[in-house]
Amino acid sequence: MQVLLARILLFTLFSFPAMDQSVAAVDHVVVYKHDRKLVLLSSGMQVKSYRVALGANPIGPKTREGDHRTPEGSYVCHACGPW
């Protein structure tokens, strides 16, 4: 899951060159599973949001492989350096 979040962040930051420079200051990525929405935050302020595809039953914590739920928790991208 850590790798997935890092890839989402890197994809978001580098795939949209026309976006303004405020996106480069993103310090948090939040996924609202119920709304199926990924939000990029910079100093607590929303910079951008995206619709995301999740498992068939994403709400609630993941309990086992194959339960079609999305893992919950806080993750840190050590390869990304300090945010």
What is the pLDDT at residue 81?
58
Q: What are phi and psi of 10, to 5 degrees?
A: -65, -40
The strand order across the sheet containing 37-42 reads 28-32, 37-42, 45-51
Q: What is the pLDDT of residues 44-64, one digit of tens each?
A: 899 999 999 887 888 888 888
The whole-angstrom separation of Cα 61 and Cα 55 is 12
Output DSSP code: residue 33: T
Domain boundaries, the chain: 2-80
pTM: 0.58
At residue 35's C-alpha, the angle toward residues 24 and 57, to 5°, is: 120
What is the pLDDT at residue 22?
46
Mean pLDDT for back-to-back runs of 10 residues, the chain (83 residues) = 58 54 71 90 90 84 84 72 54
